[in-house]
Amino acid sequence: MSAKIHDFWQRISEGIAIDQIWTQFRAEARASYEIYSKDVPFARGEGESHPRRLMRVARGLFWAMMAKLSPGRRVVFFVGLILLVVPGIHFMAGDRPVDLGGLQFLGGVVMLVLLALELADRVAMKRDLEIAREIQSWLMPSKPPEIPGVDIAFVSRPANTVAGDYFDAFFRPDNRLLIVVADVAGKSVPAALLTATLQASLRTLAALAGELPELVTRVNRYACEQSLQGRRFTTAFFAELEPSTGNLTYVNAGHNWPVVRRASGTYERLELGGLPLGITANRTYESGTLTLERGDFLLIFTDGLVEAENAEAQEYGEERMLPMVQTFGNASAAEALKRLMASVESFVGATRQHDDITCLGMRMS
């Protein structure tokens, strides 16, 4: 009997320890609460008593949850809720008493049916998202280009099934290596769709002759046509590397400032550029230049890295990222990113990831 109970528990828990299950549940509950609480006014009204405020907030949360259901399922939910709270119905049919008991059981069945319907929708959506994720993976490089003297690695972890982050590294016709890391405003499916259009336009425009600022200007014009009047802008960092000389030209389009850690231990930030893509069509971009030498390390990242939060809502921040970059030493690009992500994971613990995280590292060897 104990073996059957153990097998049953292993099946429903997938071997996860009790404390990990509780931590995971709390993280998921917090994330769900954030979704529902957006529509609830929590501020205490003038002259409003504490009990009245609690009732108003509870009512607001209830209706916020109801709004997520279809009208038909709301009716089913109400019926099931009434059956759960009513122990039974007693009335007289003529001179004969009628006793309808066991309504709680019927209410539980109704709730179980509603749960099954919601799970079916979730499974169907998850299947579609998995297909979308597979398609999106085709748009990103599966492995970095192999270049003598240049060690490149990247890591990307979406907050949801599909991501709004984009990274790429490929050679233009003039044999200059183009490196791109971008972050579309928003998450999940809408951001992923714009990521796909960004990738297609960049690959097409990069095949044309022109310097890097001209390429970014062209990409920006295209992004403005897809940005819904600037509501779906994209921050991006573009760089062109001449592998033989280490000369790097870059344009920062409103992106987090990448870090160049010199072999001597000092570091520089790459900030020259302009506005994010998709805001103003008639916009020119400023470029910066530098020379990367043997032992130098370039880290490009999206804001999901520095804005990763722990259970106390504290951000990982650059005050933790920069000291980690200083510890990279002579580590390979892949090992350096592995250390950085381990540091972030240790900081956030079991807190649910709320934004996509993408990093690209490049070491000159």
Q: What is the pLDDT of residues 319-364, one digit of tens each?
A: 999 999 999 988 999 999 999 999 999 999 878 788 889 999 999 9
For the chain, the domains span 2-43+50-90+98-132, 143-364
H or E element at residue 169:
strand 165-171
CA distance 218 to 201: 9
- For the residues 183-193, what does the mean pLDDT come to? 75
d(Cα 86, Cα 103) in Å, to the nearest integer? Answer: 7
Instruction: Dump pLDDT digits (tens) for 124-170.
Output: 777 766 776 776 677 788 889 999 999 999 999 888 766 778 899 99
| Alpha-carbon torsion (32, 33, 35, 39), positive or negative | positive
CATH code reported for the domain at 143-364:
3.60.40.10
Angle at 94 between CA 90 and CA 95, to 5 degrees: 85
Do the beta carbons of residue 316 and residue 346 sit within 8 Å? no
Output 196 or 37, whichever has higher pLDDT.
196
Question: How does pLDDT run across 50-80, given as a tens digit for each residue?
Answer: 788 888 888 888 888 888 888 888 888 888 8
Read off the pTM: 0.74
4 vs 147, residue with greater confidence: 147
- Structure tokens belonging to residue 146: 């192999």
Q: Decide if pLDDT at 269 tops 80.
A: yes
- Helices 212-226 & 188-206 angle (0-180, nearest 10): 140
Instruction: With CA atoms as reference, report the closest residue to 202 among 227, 178, 226.
Output: 178
